[in-house]
Chain A
């Protein structure tokens, strides 16, 4: 059988980690992917400037769901300053693949949501 995605990507898609919402989130933000109508929402609760808990919800393709699932695992215990330093490459590193410009937009949607959420926190 041909391998479409690495097994760990499919695993995060089929069994997403940290799926849901947080009622007492400090950062709560969502965004659509205009290409396909997908939506990812992130809820993050902070304690002393560090991520205590993170949840995601929404709908999307394998890449956007897997990236969101991985990101919510990745950021727990990180400071806001560390979150702000996240780059596109960090998502590609988590996924373990490189992507063309169109599909990259799917994979980067959760990071975009995180960045926009952080900028609202700053305000």
Chain B
């Protein structure tokens, strides 16, 4: 009896702080995102008036919101495809082929992941600077430009952002896949070699299927993190400009908050929430396979 009492006291003491912090700073705000999207709130007073779905009705007539959603989807899709394609390919090369200096490459490729997005955006503004920027001066070596290329101009800003985001993400996923690929038993490749299967066949028939579970989990989380990363990059690199050409949904949500339109801002938050869950669920469904044992 005494022991049982001590046990529950111990459990409560251990679990209560984490549960309380989690409830206050994660569950409550999440619930609030959904609740506040149905209200209108004064900029400085906590008085709220219930407006139903009015914020959402406004939202779908707001061309800037539609544009920011389109940009977000575009960034998520393209960054995911490029990052996963390149990371898987390079991880396979580095684990399968006897590349010298494998460790050095691994260390270097991981560097962007430890830098703050603010630092990366500083680095990329030096790269993209129209006059005397790294990229334009490199291109200038090969052919003379009359007008400098505006990498952060309206037409090129999205590709420029994609490049920066891929630059940041690739190393992390490469290192992760190298770890899971190195656990695939060598004997499988040996027998594949005997059967005359080439590198490409081995990659698609052995490597990818065997680490599929890992790819699936990381893909789901990558999508959620890319929605967020797109915001971090846009906020630091372009602030959504020029003329909203690079705005993404989370950045638009944040700017509405700065404008004091809290209800409207949270309606955007709800759309982002639902979108990210729906997308994760879709990806999860589409990528479902029988897990392979090895």
Decide whether A and B are members of one complex. no
A residues apposed to B, CB below 8 Å: none
